[in-house]
Each structure stands twice: as structure tokens, then as C-alpha cells.
Amino acid sequence: MTTLDRYILNAFIKNLALVLLVLISLYSLIEFLETVDDFIEHQAELKHYLFYPLYHLPVIIANILPMAVLLATFATIGGFSRSNQLTAMLCGGVSFSRISRPLFLGSLFLALIVLIANLWLVPWSARETNYIKRTEITGKSSQEISSKDLYFRDGDRIISISHAFPEKKIILGLTIVEFNDKFMPVTRIQSERAKYVNNGQWQLKNAVIWNFSPETKAVASFDKQPELLFDLKRQPDEMLKLLDRPEYLTVNQLIQLSEKLQKEGYDPKSYQVETQLRFAKAAIPIIMVLVGIPFALQRGRNASFSLGIVISLAIFVVYFILYAVFAVFGAIAVLPPFIAAWAANLLMALVGSWFFLRA
């Protein structure tokens, strides 16, 4: 790497670090204002105020990194234009593509980091923060959980859960309804929390048990137990299929679950699209540099950072709309998962290439 490469790359890294710091602070402040009521209402401990934002940091960085790269690119090239350094480089015989090379090398390195993070770190972060909020801070009972229950039939019973944490071996909002051979309800068991013990056995906390009369369907008996050992006949790993949030799963889990659901006759499209999106998101930093450089040159020495913020927001909104629309098309099987995940990147790359070649 030459001295010029290092100089341009150092300017890009400094701008990126500054933008990331500002965006992380703003994102964290907004999220804190949204969640602080829950923290105060449920008397969260001091460790939760510290660990919750720390565990959530990878998700925050993954969400704001595309915008940060775009702003850093605009600030770097715009800064060189305002100070006439870009003119001096071009007059010195340095080609425009040569000037851009360090930025693309930096974005390629960021893309590799994002790819590695999307494989494991980001879903781990999302899963841990959800666990902390659902179990350690709010501690809501099954009756208070507002998310949609997920149902599945298991032999002569129907099982419903609100949230599953396979790595923690914990289920929240568990409801089990057992039927007789005439499909009449016999027993209903409801528990706010269940923890795996061994051999399919789960320890239910604050279990409520209703026994029904098959003839009249009326409640024959009612009981409450603080602790109840129940044979759910399922291992924690099998609860992965009950998760309604694919972003909580690693890429390996997404692939395995997609194959398993397909064999069982279920539609795995949402998990297949999420798998492809993990790889497509890794290419976004490169595309942001490709789009940002020509837009930074549009105003020449009149380019300002405030203008860069406006342009970056407009570009990012357009990209996000494309990304969301194609992801929905993939989930409802209008487009194949691979095309749905990469279509937004391809369109933005074509637009960026056209502007870059014109520049």
C-alpha cells in the first residue's frame, strides 16, 4: 500500500469512526427513551441498564453501518474536493479510479466483518437482548405477553408458546391442551415459564391446570402448582421450529431448519430468504461506497457535510424500500429467495456504477 493509499484510507477511517460514534449515540438515545419506561416500571437492576445496550450493540452497528459508510464516503471525497486535494491528485496524474481504490478496499474489509457478524454475532445479539427484556426485565406472565402465540399439533395434544429460547432451554407462555380419541379437550395446562430438565422433561413454573368432563365439556377440576414436572417429549433444539423471528437464528440454524421444514411439508420461504439476506447485507458497504463517491463529486468544492446527510438519507430510504419490498416478494414466493435477497443490491449497484462511470 502506497503513501497515497494510506492517506486516503486514514481519512476514510477517521470519518467513519466519527460518523459511527454519532449514529450509535443517537440510536442508543432513541432506544433508551423507548425502553426506559419498561426498565423503571419493572424495577430493573443496574446490571440490566449496562448489559442490555452492550448486548444490543452488534445489532445497532449492523443497522447503521450502511448509512455510516455512505456518510463517511461523502465526507472523505467532499473534504478532498473542498480543500483542493482532489484537484491536486488529478493534476498530479493520479486517476480517479486510483483515488477511489482505498475506499473500495476499506469497504471490502467492512463487508467481510459484516458477513462474519451476520453468520453468528448479530443473531446472538438480537436473541440475547430479547431474552433479557422478556425474562429478566419485564418478567411478564403468559397472560401479559402481547406477541402472537405459535401453535403446533403433537399427537393428541396442541402446544402453544409465546417465546422460545433454545440456547437457554427456556419457553415463555406455554399452553398445552390434551384431547381424547374423539378430539374432545380433557386437560389444559398453562404455565408462564418452562425450563428443560432432561429426557423431554420440562419444569413448569406457576402452572394452572384445568380438567374437563368429556361429556359436558365443563371444567371438572381446577388446580394451581408453583412447580410442575411435565413430559413435553421435545428437546430444546426442537423448539427452533417454533421461533417466529428468523433473525434470531444463525445461518447454520436457518439452513437446517429450512431443510427440516421442507421435508415435513411446511413452507420454508421466510427462512430461505433470511439466509440469503445475511449474505446480501454483507455487500452493502461496497455498494454504499460505489454510490457515495459520484454523488460527493456532484457539487465539487461546494459539497458540504449537511448536503451529504440529506443525500445519504435519500439514498438509504430508497435502498431500504427496495430491500423491504423484494424481501416481502421472496417471503410470499413471488420471487425466488436468492433473487429477492440480492435484487436491491443489484439495482443500487447498477445505479452506482452508472454514476461512477460518468464521474
Task: Considering only CA atoms, give the Rg of the chain.
Answer: 26
What's the pTM? 0.75
310 C-beta neighbours (distance < 10 Å), count: 10
First to last CA, the chain: 25
Q: Is the pLDDT of residue 303 over 60?
A: no
Is-contact 295 307, C-beta < 8 A? no
pLDDT at site 204: 92
**Distance of alpha carbon 129 from its chain centroid, rounded?**
11
Arithmetic mean of pLDDT, 272-297: 90
The pLDDT confidence band at residue 138, using thresholds 50, 70 and 90, is: low
Q: Given the C-alpha cell 417454533, which residue does it identify? A: 242
Q: Is the pLDDT of residue 273 over 80?
A: yes
Which amino acid is present at 177?
Answer: V
Is-contact 210 248, C-beta < 8 A? no
Alpha carbon distance 45, 91 (integer Å) = 61
Reduced to 3 states (helix: H, G, I; strand: E, B; else coil), residue 227 is strand
**Distance of alpha carbon 35 from its chain centroid, rounded?**
18
pLDDT at site 261: 76
**Which tens digits make up the pLDDT trace of 191-236?**
988 999 888 889 999 899 999 887 777 888 888 889 999 888 777 7
Q: DSSP letters along 21-78, please?
A: HHHHHHHHHHHHHHHHHHHHHTT--HHHHHHHHHHHHHHHHHHHHHHHHHHHHHHHHH
As separate numbers, helices (DSSP H) first and strands (DSSP E) second, the chain gives 10, 7
Is-contact 96 35, C-beta < 8 A? no
Is residue 179 packed enough to be buried (19+ CB in 10 Å), middle (13-18) or exposed (0-12)?
middle
Alpha carbon distance 279, 118 (integer Å) = 8
The pLDDT confidence band at residue 299, using thresholds 50, 70 and 90, is: low
Alpha carbon distance 177, 200 (integer Å) = 17
324 C-beta neighbours (distance < 10 Å), count: 11
Tally of residues, the chain: 359
Report which of 344, 350, 353, 302 is spatially closest to residue 325, judged by C-alpha positions: 344
Question: 58 vs 249, which has greater pLDDT?
Answer: 58
Percent of the chain with pLDDT over 90: 30
Question: 201 vs 135, which has greater pLDDT?
Answer: 201
Alpha carbon distance 251, 246 (integer Å) = 10
Report which of 30, 26, 59, 27 is spatially closest to residue 128, judged by C-alpha positions: 59
The pLDDT confidence band at residue 357, using thresholds 50, 70 and 90, is: confident
Alpha-carbon dihedral 133, 139, 141, 143, rounded to 10 degrees: -50
